Amino acid sequence: MRKGVNAKGLIVAIFLLALNVGAAQAQTAPAGTQRITIQLLNGKTGQPLRWRALASVRIGSMITRRDLDPIDKRANLSGKAQVDVTNANPAQIEVGVNFISRDCRYAPQAQSAPVIYSIDDVRVKGIVIDNYCGGPKRSPEPGVLMIYVIPSTSRELWNE
């Protein structure tokens, strides 16, 4: 009779669960739906931010209408959040990131004003934002907007 937990079996089960979650999130969208992906990356390591990452998105005319709340998109296991941009008019997107210590889009002493990105540029060639945190920079992928940030520590989140 075996005692304890089989570590290999547990690792395989977790891996299969992660694959199922990723497959469920990658379900096909209805015909005519246009989507882009926002990927949040750690500015020091270049690795995806998982689960904790939350992007606040404004699309099209929502950018100028501050009376409307932004759409919150939580990142999946790969640090990616899917955004429906089908009816974006104008075809622009503004992304803010929550639960972070530093936004690496800006130099340390620079003022952080909202940046508006072209949805068409994201869809056709992809956009990788400058990384002023000094970590590695990835190559653009069509349909993906990559943003570098430094995540908040548990202590920083607790003290907020």
pLDDT digits (tens, 9 = 90+) for 94-135: 888 876 777 888 877 776 677 889 999 999 999 999 998 888
**Minimal CA–CA distance to 19: which of 75, 73, 81, 76?**
76
Strand 116-118 versus strand 92-98 pairing type: antiparallel
Amino acid of residue 116: I
79 and 49 in contact (C-beta within 8 Å)? yes
Q: Work out the number of other CB atoms within 10 angstroms of the CB of residue 84.
A: 16
**What domain count does the chain have?**
1
Position 122 in a domain: yes
Position 96 in a domain: yes
Return the higher-pLDDT residue of 29 and 65: 65
Position 16 in a domain: no
The CATH code of the domain that includes 68 is: 2.60.40.10
Position 25 in a domain: no
